[in-house]
Structure 1
Amino acid sequence: MLKLPPHGPQQRIGLFGGSFNPAHEGHRQVALYAMKRLQLDWVWWLVSPQNPLKSSAETSDYAERMALTKFMANHPRFVVTDIEKQIGSRYTAETLRVLKQHSDAEFIWIMGADSLGSLSRWYQWTEIMGDMQIAVLARPGYSIRALSSKAAIRYQHKRIPGDRPQALGSKAPPRWVFISMPLRKESSTALRAVAKPFHAASKFW
């Protein structure tokens, strides 16, 4: 049986999905900014068992990623959950369908600008746009590419002005908004690159 985090009917919940490989302060700032600008009741951090667009060889142990994500998501209105592992989902489209079947909350998918740029490569990406309203948060070096991406162009007429992100949810999807925010330089890729020499050196101690 699917175990969802505690929440109330019609609450606004941000779904912040990703590998979090590893989670870092940049992720936390995105979640905080999204919660404030979108006027969310909760932000659920959905730790994916495996991103289908990335190599499993580059993905750390699931339990380790969950533990670090819980450490980074230190806020009373943040919840780290293994929903995708519970339902055996590797695809966002599947996860969203299951969540909508099991809850009447108002869900908003939160993603970084880099994810919008590659959204057209996601499994059933048009179904994702049709099922869930989406908030896209700026990331260093990705904003221009994201806003000129296939997904952004196709759904340009469904974009909500960035100065009114709280309006997301007032109409049925597809609806999305691009939110500018103070940018941070952290990235999971860079952190993994730094960690590799450390792990290699630790074998000799």
Structure 2
Amino acid sequence: MTLRPPRRIPGITEMPPSAPGMRIGLFGGSFNPMHEGHLLVMEETLRRLDLHALWVLVTPGNPLKDNSTLPSLASRVTAARRLITDPRIRVTGLEAAKGFAFSWQTVDFLTSAMPDRRFVWIMGADSLADFHRWQRWRDMAAKIPIAVYVRPGAARRALASRAAAVLDHAQLDETDAALLAGSAAPAWIYLQGRQSALSSTAIRASRNRN
């Protein structure tokens, strides 16, 4: 298991509160920065998956990207919290406190430590297209149901991806979205719906031009 040095930051890396039986969405990313497109995905998945809560997991750094210019974890967590008004959504940097470098470690820890919660991993369609590049992605899919939300221009790549083909047998119909959290993994669903063309990459590029 690859681990980073644990970094506990008061007020930033604590585990959000929860209770047995809760259905909790896990939405991970660098969030550099968080934007309205992210908020749209959170709003839609909370409603359609019938979740009690959604945890935004702000990663210390994406293993597949260059993190040399990534703002501090604390600044990204704080900025994300300013945008969120729904009390069911909690933003945390808990992966840093555990020293986790990969999403499968987070999933393994949470599902083992709290087996009486019903966790669902939430990702955009662009992430599904590259899911096969994630470390131990098959193990991750075997541990937690996954909700994939449509992203502009990513549908074809996502549904034709290696991961989609491997997990084809486990796909649920979109009309069964509310059942996903209670489904045994592997199970996943592709959600169509409202979309936003915003991206963190485009926002950063615009800021740099200005």
Match among 139, 160, 181 for residue 193 of structure 2: 181
CA distance in 1, matches of 2:93, 2:69: 20
TM-fit CA distance, 1:83: 1.1
For the residue of structure 2 that corresponds to 1:164, the secondary structure is helix
TM-fit CA distance, 1:163: 1.7
Aligned residue for 1:94? 105
**Identity across the alignment (%):** 38
Kindly provide the amino acid, as one letter, of the partner of residue 157 in structure 2: R
Q: Which runs of 5+ in 2 are unaligned?
A: 1-7
Q: Deviations over 1:97-136 (max 9, x none)?
A: 1112222210000000000000000010000100110000
Q: Which runs of 5+ in 1 are unaligned?
A: 199-205
CA distance in 2, matches of 1:177, 1:58: 34
Moved over 4 A (4+): none
TM-fit CA distance, 1:57: 2.4
CA distance in 2, matches of 1:139, 1:161: 18
Structure 2 counterparts to residues 63-142 of structure 1, below 5 A: 63-103=74-114, 104-142=116-154
CA RMSD of aligned residues (A): 1.4
CA distance in 1, matches of 2:195, 2:69: 25
Structure 2 counterparts to residues 8-27 of structure 1, below 5 A: 8-27=19-38
CA distance in 1, matches of 2:98, 2:113: 12
CA distance in 1, matches of 2:127, 2:101: 16
Q: Deviations over 1:1-39 (max 9, x none)?
A: 994211110100000111001100100110000000000
Aligned residue for 2:17? 6
Kindly provide the amino acid, as one letter, of the partner of residue 39 in structure 2: R
- Do structure 1's residue 38 and structure 2's residue 37 form an aligned pair? no
Structure 2 counterparts to residues 120-199 of structure 1, below 5 A: 120-198=132-210
Kindly provide the amino acid, as one letter, of the partner of residue 125 in structure 2: A
Kindly provide the amino acid, as one letter, of the partner of residue 128 in structure 2: L
Alignment length (residue pairs): 198
